[in-house]
Chain A
Amino acid sequence: MEIFTATNLIYILGGFIKTIEISVLAIIFSLILGTVFAIAKQYGPRLLRIVASAYIELFRCTPNLLWILFIYFTVQGSDILISVLAFTLFTSAVMAEIVRGGFNAVPTGQFEAARSQGFGFWTTMVYIVLPQTFKTIIPALFSQCTTVIKDSSYLAGINVAEFMYTTNVVMAHAVDLSQVMLLYGFVFALYFALNFGISLAVRAYQRRQVAA
């Protein structure tokens, strides 16, 4: 039996699209939430700092799969909603640490200068600190993107029809080892192309930064 039929291929690639959809949404939401946690941990009042630290440590010290299963069990909704929610929960903890690393690279003189020009805390943040922060953390941010793309394959554990899941479904129809190998070759190649492309782009960006 032929395994790379048009129907199978469209089905598998549908999973690939879903992987990208979930990853992009999760990255956007977790970047926003992560920035909020980073501001809370770095500049917030004592209580807020403790809450943000606790959140970050909790999600940094427990497996992604645990939260995927947890959200799947407790929240009802479409598989996209569940996936994006679960990924946003723990990726925002990582994002918070990345953004905080960026804050540390902004010289304190920037704050003083902004203050002397009459900027308040939030205007300083939005116009002065955050733009500089995001510029320095772009490489870390994009390497986190590849992590999210890779980890999204954990979602096969809750039967979300992402790339690994759709491949496994087709795999069930494979009749011999060569078909299995071919399918895995295909999956590895696509994941690799996507992630390696991102990491090449990051490296090119870093080289340009160094040269500039």
Chain B
Amino acid sequence: MLEGLFDPTRWEATFGAMDTFWAGFAVTLQVVVAGLALALVLGTLLGVLSTSRSRALRGITRVYVELFQNTPLPVQVMFMYMAGPQLLASLTGAADPVRIAPFALGSLGVGLYHAAYISEVVRTGIESVPRGQMEAARSQGFTRPQAYAYIILPQTFRVILPPLCNQALNLVKNTSVLALVAGGDLMYRSDNFVALYGYLQGYIVSCFLYFIICFPLALLVQFLERRSKQRPRAKEIPGLADLAAASAGTDGKEA
């Protein structure tokens, strides 16, 4: 089952091929960064729109979220991989199928998928802010977009940060979907290594490399969750303590 696990020559061969693993690691990191950026921007936009007053906009975001959350990411990516090139060709009128780079496929895949989840996170965050905040902002002359940007969204950060980081963690893991479409990411390259040499050390190395990206994120989630459960502390206002002491002093004199 685990034959050759402690065989030093196998480990040597695996460490000799570290360049391949690092190359895959770099691809995975790039896809993570691009995918996360897309997911955050699109997810926040969809989350805000899902709390808008327009019924049509709410409907569109609902459909997007349900479609992407209830179908598998591998099938979505496979669809882009198989049908995408021909679809693009017929859309743009190109003579040949338009090749989609694995990087685009991966970041678009995880980005669109996790945007649906982040949209739900942002929506619940916005709904947790008391309605009076929007009314107060409007009464002070803020337009609705301004109220979202300056009043509502900043207040949601504390609530949405833990689930947001959790989404980032899942996004990192889900980039491995690229291995199914020969994307050249860490998972793909380690699987190739194992197929080539027959050494399961390749999986252990890739396990370790994924772990060093994801474990800090998992710790961050735990830390943020603990922090969000604490009651907010009163802010230190400079000079306030002196003022209190001074007023206590005058009170004393008068008494």
Q: Which residue of A lies closest to B207 (CB)?
A: A62
Name A's B-contacting residues (CB within 8 A): 57-58, 60-66, 69-70, 73-75, 146, 149-154, 156-157, 164, 168, 171, 177, 180-181, 184, 187-188, 191-192, 195-196, 199
Is B200's CB under 8 angstroms from A157's CB? no
Choice from A62, A153, A157, A187 contacting B210 with Cβ under 8 Å: A62
Name B's A-contacting residues (CB within 8 A): 1-2, 66-67, 69-75, 78-79, 82-83, 86-87, 90, 169, 173-177, 179-180, 187, 190-191, 194, 200, 203, 206-207, 210-211, 214-215, 217-218
CA distance A59 to B69 in the complex (A): 22
CA distance A122 to B207 in the complex (A): 36
Is A187's CB under 8 angstroms from B75's CB? yes
B237 CB, nearest partner CB in chain A, Å: 36
Contacts of A191 in B (CB 8 A): 70-72, 75
Is A58's CB under 8 angstroms from B174's CB? no
Contacts of A75 in B (CB 8 A): 1
Choice from B1, B70, B78, B187 contacting A65 with Cβ under 8 Å: B187
Contacts of B218 in A (CB 8 A): 57, 60-61
CA distance A66 to B179 in the complex (A): 10
Is B200's CB under 8 angstroms from A74's CB? yes
Is A66's CB under 8 angstroms from B75's CB? no
Q: Which residue of A lies closest to B212 (CB)?
A: A61
Choice from A73, A180, A187, A196 contacting B200 with Cβ under 8 Å: A73
Is B70's CB under 8 angstroms from A154's CB? no
Is A154's CB under 8 angstroms from B180's CB? yes
Contacts of B210 in A (CB 8 A): 61-63, 66
Contacts of B214 in A (CB 8 A): 60-62
Choice from A58, A149, A177, A199 contacting B86 with Cβ under 8 Å: A177
